[in-house]
């Protein structure tokens, strides 16, 4: 079962959001709005909190901040416990690929056997060394 420890939440204005973004990686767009991350292995600004489903553009949403906390995230594929993780193009966690300009955003604290599972990660931003 995925879990949180004490997390820092910051509130932003929602951009265009659809249902199903809870526990997915988010970025802040050029308008200062929280939107789903769509850049594979790119930087993220947080993870959408529980209240995001049902939110519409312009409403407030909270993001879990990457400050070394333990956070829940949706897996985009099978992940081995202990793997570094990055984001896929729809805000889900995938095993990080170490390459130029990629970002590991945490370490899996649980395994995922398939896409869609919610797992716990140690959420922290690390620029790839490649």
Through-space distance between the first and last CA atoms of the chain, rounded to whole angstroms: 33
Helix (H) / strand (E) element for 87: namely strand 84-87
> pLDDT per residue over 58-88, tens digit each?
787 888 888 888 999 999 999 999 999 999 9
Apex CA 17: angle with CA 14 and CA 22, to 5°? 95
Say whether pLDDT at 21 is over 90.
no
> pLDDT per residue over 94-105, tens digit each?
999 988 889 999
Parse the chain into domains and list their residue ranges: 1-130
Residue 104: closest CA among 78, 128, 82:
128
33 touches 15 (CB < 8 A):
yes
What percentage of the chain has pLDDT greater than the value 90?
A: 57
């Amino acid at each position: 079962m995925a879990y949180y420890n004490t997390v820092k939440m910051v509130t932003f204005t929602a951009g265009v959001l659809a249902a199903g973004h809870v526990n997915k990686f988010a970025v802040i767009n050029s308008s200062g709005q929280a939107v789903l991350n769509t850049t594979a292995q790119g930087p993220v600004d947080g993870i959408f909190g529980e209240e995001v489903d049902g939110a519409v553009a312009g409403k407030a949403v909270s993001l879990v901040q990457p400050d070394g906390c333990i956070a829940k995230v949706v897996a985009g594929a099978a992940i081995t416990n202990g793997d570094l993780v990055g984001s896929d193009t729809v805000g889900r966690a995938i095993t990080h690929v170490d390459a130029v300009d990629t970002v590991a955003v945490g370490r899996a604290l649980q395994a995922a056997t398939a896409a869609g599972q919610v797992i716990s990660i140690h959420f922290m931003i690390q620029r790839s060394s490649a």
